[in-house]
Amino acid sequence: MTQLTASIIGGSGYAGGELVRLLLMHPNIELTQVTSERQAGKFVKTTHPNLREVTNLKFIASADLKPTDLLFLALPHGVSMEKLPQVRDLAPVVIDLSSDFRLNNPGDYDVWYGHQHNDLEALGNFVYGMPELHREEISTADWIASPGCMSTTSILGLYPLFRAGVVDTSLPTIIEAKTGSSGSGGAPSLSSHHAERSGVIRSFKPTGHRHTAEIVQELTFADVAPNVSFSATSIEAVRGILATSHVFLNEDLDDKALRKIYREAYKDEPFMRLVKETAGVHRYPEPKLLSGSNWCDVGFERDPHSRRVVVMAATDNLMKGAAGQAVQAMNIRMGFGERTGLEFPGLHPI
């Protein structure tokens, strides 16, 4: 069995910690190095106690990294861009989980991130690491930009409809994404302080969310950009995203025709499920059922009174929204089975 070494820069964070968990269990991977500047010298399991008795690895400083077959960056946006020139020669394949290399148009960084991109050459060499949309490019890419969590969930919900050309792009597509607290990372802040966060249903980015740029980029077909309005809301959960999208059809398609569109787009996808039951409690996608898993569940309902379709998509933000999707892309790039190390379902009940 092929055995490759992997290393993670930024392994003390939430996305990095999830990568550690996945890569330690991956049959083709030996995780050899995990960095943290603040925790260097300390056991990884001290920061990620779910890994007690699973690993005795210690964090190292990124300056002490040795060459490796695969290098994952799980650093804040802006930091990855600065780090890449120092570490790019350590590994033939680099997978970055930040937003620094996701956008094809450098001008989008000015618009959505408020700064110019400082490494246009590198930006041009990254492939957007969403397997359902870019599997072929990922299979030969040496640099992969893993997508954002709310963008992943929104795009995967809407992609079949835009791909099929059945959306009225003259009308807005409105996406409301609900997210748990781990989506903003492990660094403490007033908004994540328990007394301020617990029990919350809080609009934190009604307009101007940066993930809008990825959604527009990936749902543009035949040079027609979608008319996307995106809002984000924090809810009472640690993991999980539910993206509810309101989209208007350009023709009068019934439920059966819409099912066919979704089935055609996702029938061979290893981590996509159409969830649309007619009875019971769990009729539509629910992020809680996906906790710890790499699935993205998608469902929809046709509004009988208009041409609106309400699309529901759910993920675990740290899995399909981050580390799981990055491992899926790694599997594609390295020629491993795409489900390898990711086959487990979520938990129920939780």
Ligand X SMILES: NC(=O)c1ccc[n+]([C@@H]2O[C@H](COP(=O)([O-])OP(=O)(O)OC[C@H]3O[C@@H](n4cnc5c(N)ncnc54)[C@H](OP(=O)(O)O)[C@@H]3O)[C@@H](O)[C@H]2O)c1
- What whole-number distance in Å separates Cα of residue 285 and Cα of residue 240? 11
Q: Are 177 and 242 in contact (CB under 8 A)?
A: yes
Sign of the CA dihedral running 314, 268, 144, 4: positive
CA angle 34, 36, 42 (to 5 degrees): 80
Nearest distance from residue 113's CB to ligand X, in Å?
11
Contact 243, 153 (CB under 8 A): yes
Our CB check for ligand X shows the closer of 183 and 341 to be 183
Q: Give the nearest distance from C-beta 300 to ligand X in angstroms.
A: 24
Kindly state the greatest CA–CA separation across the chain.
Answer: 62
Please state the closest distance from residue 12 (CB atom) to ligand X, in A.
Answer: 4
Burial track 181-207 (b if 16+ CB lie within 10 A, e otherwise): bbbbbeeeeeeeeeeebeeeeeeebee
Site residues, ligand X (CB under 6 A): 10-16, 36-39, 74-77, 79, 97-99, 148-149, 182-183, 185-187, 317-318, 321-322
Task: State both tokens at 311.
Answer: 């699309």
**Which 3 state secondary structure label does DSSP give 323?**
helix
Backbone angles phi, psi at 109, to 5 degrees: -70, -35
- State the minimum distance, in angstroms, from the CB of residue 153 to ligand X: 10
Q: Which helix (H) or strand (E) holds 182?
A: none
Tokens of 154: 């929104």
In terms of CB distance, is 91 or 97 closer to ligand X? Answer: 97
Beta-ladder partners of 277 = none
149 catalytic residue (yes or no): yes
> 73, 133, 149, 326: which is the annotated catalytic residue?
149
Nearer to ligand X by Cβ, of 74 and 309: the residue is 74
Tokens of 57: 């690895």
Shortest Å, Cβ 259 to ligand X: 30
Residue number of the CB closest to ligand X reads 13
Q: Return the number of the residue (99 or 154) whose C-beta is nearest ligand X.
A: 99
In the bound state with ligand X, the residue whose beta carbon lies nearer, of 239 and 276, is 239
Give catalytic residues, as residue numbers. 149
